[in-house]
Amino acid sequence: MTIAIEKGQARLTFAPEVGGAVASFTVGGRNVLRPMAAGARDALEAACFPLVPFCNRIPQGRFAFEGREVVLPPNLGDHPHPLHGQGWRAAWTVETAADGEALLSYAHAPDAWPWAYRAEQRFTLSETGLRAELTVTNTGEAAMPAGLGFHPYFPAAPGETLTAANDGVWLIDAEVLPTIHHAGVWGPDWAAGAPVAGHDLIDHCYTGWDQRATLTAPGRPDTVVTASADCRWLHVYVPPGQGFLCVEPCASRPDPFGAGETGMVVLKPGQRRSIWMEITSA
């Protein structure tokens, strides 16, 4: 069953049972996001999915929070470092979907992640874009750590460039864990606008982002990604030769319980955190 909302030339479809994922987003019949293949059952094959209640990898799934030791199981095959929280591996409920707007929800019961929470995604279409708002509410009885992000996939185009301000990047090791922060330009100079193709694997978190990124390709309208102010990290994922790239606004960084400022916040019972992202293409 296809769940869709429309406004003017914009159309958004969902696969709520697959991690609350967006299945497609088109404007005038053109794919702005990479479409999800029919029958796909993994959010990694989707057009976009939510990162809740943390972004990217926790080394070995182990961390301590307010005196509690937590160990999370792997959630990506035999990869040892669980990533992106629980929402992307769970079925979501469609609360409403009509008149260019939709609301999806997911309720998490305590398990290896020992805190209860409710996550919501609210989508609103314009004539040439979408706005997604992601919220997490602590529904338990103890304080809970929380970080949020979005994971949109864009179809790669010949001659495409990405422009996104930044002041540095987290370098990674062979297991895609952050190692050191490199200040200034490393690899493609996204701040000046750089070609997307022609590099080794890019799976890096950039700091100092100003909440705006632009994809530009010959013969195609620009695609502009903007986000809320606390999305201070931009994760860029470009696997060579795969025909897509990810430009991910994040309010927390990889290794979210590591040293230094990671963007994680503490939610007391009943408190919530929200971020938003807009994608326009015209």
CA dihedral 242, 147, 97, 4 (to 10 degrees): 0
CA distance 59 to 177: 7
Residue 3 confidence (pLDDT) above 90? yes
Query: Within 10 Å of residue 26's Cβ, how many Cβ atoms?
Result: 18
pLDDT of residue 168: 98
φ/ψ bin of 190: left (φ > 0), alpha (ψ from -120 to 50), beta (otherwise): alpha
pLDDT in tens, 133-189: 999 999 999 999 999 999 999 999 999 999 999 999 999 999 999 999 999 999 999
Whats the size of the chain, residue-wise?
A: 282
pLDDT of residue 1: 67
pLDDT in tens, 84-124: 999 999 999 999 999 999 999 999 999 999 999 999 999 99
Cα 218 → chain centroid: 26
Residue 68 confidence (pLDDT) above 80? yes
pLDDT in tens, 270-279: 999 999 999 9
CA distance 226 to 249: 8
pLDDT of residue 272: 98
Interacting residues of 6 by C-beta distance below 8 A, sequence separation 6+ = 12, 100, 125
Q: Calculate the average pLDDT of the chain.
A: 97
Q: Which domain, by its residues, includes 135?
A: 3-281
**CB of 138 closer than 8 Å to CB of 269:** yes
Percent of the chain with pLDDT over 90: 99
Q: β-strands 144-146, 129-138: how paired?
A: unpaired
Mean predicted confidence (pLDDT) in 10-20: 97
Which CATH number does the domain housing residue 206 bear?
2.70.98.10
Mean predicted confidence (pLDDT) in 41-58: 98
- What is the tally of structural domains in the chain? 1
Residue 2 confidence (pLDDT) above 80? no
pLDDT of residue 282: 85
pLDDT in tens, 232-253: 999 999 999 999 999 999 999 9
pLDDT of residue 41: 95
Mean predicted confidence (pLDDT) in 183-197: 97
